[in-house]
Amino acid sequence: MKRVLLLFILTPFFFSCTTIGPIAELMGEIGYLSDSQVDSISKSAEAGAKAAEDITPSEEYYIGRSLGAIILSQYSVYNDTKSTEYLNKIGQLLSLNSSRPETFGGYHILILDSDEINAFAAPSGHIFISKGLIKLTENEDELAAIIAHEISHVVLQHGLEAIKKSRVTSFVTILGSSALKEFGSKEVAELTTLFEDSLADITSTLINSGYSRKFELEADLMTIDILRRTGYDVYALSKVLKNMSKVLTPNGLDFAKTHPDPEDRLENLKEEGDINGFGKKIDPNRRFIENLRNL
């Protein structure tokens, strides 16, 4: 009976996270729960409330830094000042033409000293692009397409969305492992220990699994918009994807592991382009003409 009632108390379908704690305290006062059980339930409620909160820009920045630290624990930085500055100049120009020109800590790009084809966009503008991916590009337009795609993930807060979902999962994990263990539920405890509530595990999962196909398409479409606004070739992303499709190994450990098949992305872009008409090539003098036409 005690276990059934406890599960009833802990289930968010019956009570909100903010009411679970007070109910547990009341159960403790009448002697139905021990002090340690009340404490476990209260901690679970706090975790649930935290999971429901919006993440502030400063929190997003430090989450991004934490993810960056994990990435840099797995990859070395390619230390070439000229190349890094060049990518960051392009990145600043592209970000200014996005719907989120500024973040809490700004946009920063590092080159990873790896020949694998990969790129990562951490929350708040921490961007990492492998040397191997850069070598696939043939001109600045194509390089800009890669950078704009990663900026798009930041603008659309895809990393943050993944982490928010993980924080909810983390709440369930804490709820099970800290509260239910008090009641000897071995099976439930074993299930909940399959998950970890630390940021390191959340971000590691993000690196290993990558963004969803839906998120990748959203970023691809925004990339084209940013390229157009900046004056780069809107076909550049398609060219990069075609180059990728030639060299990527299906089910490989790099870009193929964390991204949808380039051919699928090309097909999606073609379909969207046919509908929305973004396939017109940009006149390289567009900005010059638009800004000086009144002289």
Same domain, 4 and 143: no
Q: Is 199 part of any domain?
A: no
Same domain, 8 and 126: no
Q: Is 264 part of any domain?
A: yes
Determine the pLDDT at residue 253: 52
Residue with tokens 């500024």, as numbered in its chain: 102
Determine the pLDDT at residue 147: 98
Number of residues that make up the chain: 295
Q: Is 244 part of any domain?
A: yes
Same domain, 117 and 231: yes
Q: What is the rounded distance in angstroms from the CA atom of residue 210 to the CA atom of residue 35? A: 42
Determine the pLDDT at residue 47: 53
Same domain, 42 and 78: no
Largest separation between any pair of C-alpha atoms in the chain: 83
Same domain, 20 and 144: no
Pure H helices in 114-235: 131-135, 140-155, 158-174, 186-192, 199-209, 213-230
Determine the pLDDT at residue 195: 34
Same domain, 36 and 79: no
Determine the pLDDT at residue 191: 39
End position of a domain, from candidates 53, 72, 87: 53
Count Cβ neighbours within 10 Å for each residue of 4-19 and write b for 16 or more, e otherwise: eebeebbebeebebee
Q: Is 190 part of any domain?
A: no
Q: Is 223 part of any domain?
A: yes
Q: Is 118 part of any domain?
A: yes
Same domain, 42 and 147: no
Do 157 and 248 touch, CB atoms closer than 8 A? no
Domain membership of residue 3 as a residue range:
1-53
Q: What is the rounded distance in angstroms from the CA atom of residue 291 to the CA atom of residue 38? A: 66
Do 97 and 144 touch, CB atoms closer than 8 A? no
Task: Give strand pairing partners of 110.
Answer: 128
Q: What is the rounded distance in angstroms from the CA atom of residue 219 to the CA atom of residue 157? A: 10
Pure H helices in the chain: 2-10, 17-29, 35-52, 57-74, 81-96, 131-135, 140-155, 158-174, 186-192, 199-209, 213-230, 236-247, 255-258, 262-276, 286-292
End position of a domain, from candidates 53, 81, 96: 53
Sign, CA dihedral 113-118-119-120, equals negative
Same domain, 15 and 154: no
Same domain, 247 and 154: yes
Q: Is 240 part of any domain?
A: yes
Task: Give strand pairing partners of 111.
Answer: 129
Q: What is the rounded distance in angstroms from the CA atom of residue 145 to the CA atom of residue 266? A: 14
Determine the pLDDT at residue 243: 87
Determine the pLDDT at residue 63: 81
Q: Is 174 part of any domain?
A: no
Q: What is the rounded distance in angstroms from the CA atom of residue 131 to the CA atom of residue 126? A: 16
pLDDT in tens, the chain (295 residues): 444 444 443 444 333 444 445 544 555 555 545 566 556 555 555 554 554 456 789 888 988 888 898 889 889 999 999 999 999 999 999 999 999 999 999 999 999 999 998 999 999 999 999 999 999 999 999 999 999 999 999 999 988 776 666 554 554 444 445 544 554 555 444 434 433 443 555 565 567 666 777 888 889 889 999 998 998 988 899 889 888 888 766 655 545 455 556 666 667 666 655 434 455 555 556 655 665 566 5
Count the domains in the chain: 2
Torsion of CA 74, 77, 83, 89, to 10 degrees: 70
| DSSP 3-state of 178 | helix
